[in-house]
Each structure stands twice: as C-alpha cells, then as structure tokens.
Amino acid sequence: MSHQLKTAIITGAGSGIGRATAIAFLKSGWQVALAGRREDALQKTADLSDSAKSADNSLVLPTDVTKPESVTGLFHETVNRYGRVDLLFNNAGIGAPSVPLEELYDICEKTRKLLNKHMVLRVIARPFEGKSGNYTRLNSKRH
C-alpha cells in the first residue's frame, strides 16, 4: 500500500499567521500550495521551511482570492500537481482602512463574505465531486 502525503492550500502564506502555518505543515511532511498575492513573499516562505523535502512539497501559486478565476486556478494547479486537497487554511486578508470604528465592522463583514464565497465554493465544487472529505469552517463573528 503506497503512502500518499496530505495536501493543504494555505492562503495568505506570504507573511504572518499564514507563513507560520505553512512552514509548520511543510516541516510536518505535508504538501502545501502557498497562495498569496506576492510571489517573492511566497517563495521566501518556501525557503524558510528549512527542509530539502519541502522544496518538492511546496507549490508557490500567486493568487488573488477576490477573483474567482484566480481561485479556480489555485485549486486546479494544486490538484494537478498533488492529485488532491485535504485541507484549506483560508487565511487571506486585507489591511483595515482608516474609518471610524463603527464602519469597520461592515467593511470587514463584506470582505469576509467575499473571501469565503470564492474559497468555499471551490472546496465543495465539481473537481472534488464523488470524493469523500470533510469541510470545517471556523469563523469569528461579532455578537
């Protein structure tokens, strides 16, 4: 029986939490598609994983998650290279604009809905039809 590595897509992998998460997954032996807007930052994440194995297990994919065609390409390229997606760590984000705090919640909520719409639809869409898997969504929301 052959051992197939698990595959993750991590958005926002060029810095911060996304970078730290990607490095942790790579060091744990996962195949990781590194998604984000800046190719140089994504490559640095791949380089920081400190593992010769990681070079084969990382896939740098510049992606704009606000554009459906870019998200489609992200999933297509990941499945084309690794044959599967086991985990999506949807960590893409934007900086907050300079607005009164009362307006910030509405802006963040609209952005969250946009990002989730594009990413979640790809996770449950046609390329994975007929295959088993789990979908878990963690979300913060003001109450």
Convert the pLDDT of each residue in 49-65 to its tens digit.
876 556 689 999 999 88
| Mean pLDDT, the chain, integer | 78
DSSP codes, 75-127 = HHHHHHHHS---EEE-----PPPS--HHHHHHHHHHHHHHHHHHHHHHHTSGG
Instruction: Output the pLDDT for position 5.
Output: 86
Confidence of residue 126 (pLDDT cuts 50, 70, 90): very low
pLDDT at 100 over 60: yes
Instruction: Output the pLDDT for position 123.
Output: 54
Q: Which of 77, 47, 80, 81 is nearest to 62 (CA)?
A: 77
pLDDT at 23 over 80: yes
More reliable by pLDDT, 30 or 99: 30
Instruction: Output the pLDDT for position 15.
Output: 92
Instruction: Output the pLDDT for position 118.
Output: 59
Percentage of the residues of the chain whose pLDDT score is greater than 90: 38
